[in-house]
Chains A and B, each alone.
Chain A
């Protein structure tokens, strides 16, 4: 079954702790993205990766870190430096070629900082 999976669905963490959100895709897509969704603000780009072992900061990268060691995986770490981490986090991967570049999204992880 092809697609993008994110785990866990719900995550709770105490202030001052780092936490890592998982994102896996078996669509053979090169590019992957992390977005943060807050009510009324749409989705904002945190980090993206166009190819293995390469990634770039998005609009709101402060307090986050990523790695891209495998094509299928793009984990996001929310560090204690992120001032307002409670949010819904969405991972996406992009199909490309033929003029139809499109991003497809995973089900998301809702992070709550207690």
Chain B
């Protein structure tokens, strides 16, 4: 069965530090990849997505992610985090199957200290 792994469950950074959150998936075929963010008390929002083309994808709020097919990875990055980036981040994979179902990673809880 397809799985999505986010190896960092909790990350604590100081403001202005650089961020990289890992995401690996196990499916070998064509995939669509997503990062969602859940700010405290808010609903899940789409940060960015990859379907095809340039493997470096830019999203909202200065986030970007790089799809590395050979490593089955889609890591999320931000050069300089802010306190307002404190949230839980979820990686998700869609195999492009009939139901377009998403398989989610377990999430990474990021805390940014002011």
Chain B contacts of A64 at CB under 8 A? none
Is the C-beta of A26 less than 8 angstroms from some C-beta in chain B? Answer: no
Known: A40-B106, A40-B107, A43-B90. A105 touches B101 (CB 8 A): no
Assess the A107–B43 pair: CB atoms within 8 A: yes
- Which candidate, B13-21, B46-54, B59-67, is the interface stretch facing chain A? B46-54
Number of A residues near B (Cβ < 8 Å) is 26
Chain B, residues 78-102, CB within 8 Å of chain A (1/0): the string is: 0000000000001010101011111
Secondary structure class of chain B's binding surface, majority of residues: loop
- Which candidate, A15-23, A79-87, A95-103, is the interface stretch facing chain B? A95-103
Within 8 Å by CB of A40, from B9, B92, B102, lies: B9
Kindly provide the distance from the CB of B67 to the nearest chain A CB, expressed in whole angstroms.
Answer: 15
Assess the A106–B104 pair: CB atoms within 8 A: no
Nearest CB to that of B104 among chain A residues? A42
Chain A contacts of B34 at CB under 8 A? 102
